[in-house]
Amino acid sequence: MKRILHGLAAALVLLILWQTIIWIVQPPNFILPSPTRVMQTLWTSRALIGEHALTTLYEVTLGLLIGTAFGIATAIQLASSAVARALLRPILAFSQAIPVFALAPILTLWLGYGIVSKVVMAVLIIYFPVTSAFFDGLMRTPAGYLDLARTMGASRRAVLWHLRIPAAIPALGSGLKLAAVYAPIGAVIGEWVGASRGLGYLMLLANGRAKTDLMFAAVLVLGVLSMGLYLLVDAGITRALKRREQ
């Protein structure tokens, strides 16, 4: 509750600042529209924005699910095999050295202007944080658990399944929270490079036609959407982790 109040207060400060700039500088609408104008546009174009927002949300959700699944699988693979670690870790590190932006055009070329290239972008951008957070968790199983398991005559597989994976769930949770922040970025980059739907596409379109108010409205919706997604994932994970130990 306190966090929400703080957020609202910050938003209010920004709005006042924005409106003050409008009053002092009086820029033309296509440079910087006033907050009220953006709100008006948001209302009058709600159907259009809503439709594109749904597309983006769909891409982000799919990307989140698929990226998480791949991330979990990779982390388990890395944690259970030294060979996999030796082979995959440099590749993973290198993949992080390439900005996702650089891959967007080629993905669009390969996968088309449809939803697939955006989902893949979102998957790519969250794959590393999820993998890395969960993998770190898997490698940081408390030594005492491993000692205990050893005296109990456990197989490596059983230790992984019964101790290492459950003990790493909080770490996976941190990875998922990061993923919720990154996934919309991936999807929107994909939409910028080439799309016919989605908030990123709508922003470019509005910008190109000097409909700056529409662009601002789209950015606002994207921001709220991303924030909402993060808060949802964060609350869900926190709750699930708490319940797990009760």
Residues within the interface to other proteins (CB under 8 A)? 142, 144-145, 147-155, 158-159, 162-163, 166-167, 169, 244-246
| Nearer residue to other proteins within complex by CB, 116 or 167 | 167
Q: How far is the CB of 165 from other proteins (least distance, A)?
A: 11
Q: How far is the CB of 232 from other proteins (least distance, A)?
A: 23
Q: How far is the CB of 162 from other proteins (least distance, A)?
A: 6
Cα–Cα distance for residue pair 30/19, rounded to 1 Å: 15
| Nearer residue to other proteins within complex by CB, 10 or 158 | 158
| Nearer residue to other proteins within complex by CB, 149 or 195 | 149
For 157-191, b/e burial (b = at least 16 CB within 10 A) is: eebbeebbbebbeebbbbbbbbbbbbbbbbbbbbb
| Nearer residue to other proteins within complex by CB, 89 or 162 | 162
Q: How far is the CB of 95 from other proteins (least distance, A)?
A: 32
Virtual CA dihedral for 18, 20, 24, 29, nearest 10 degrees? Answer: 40
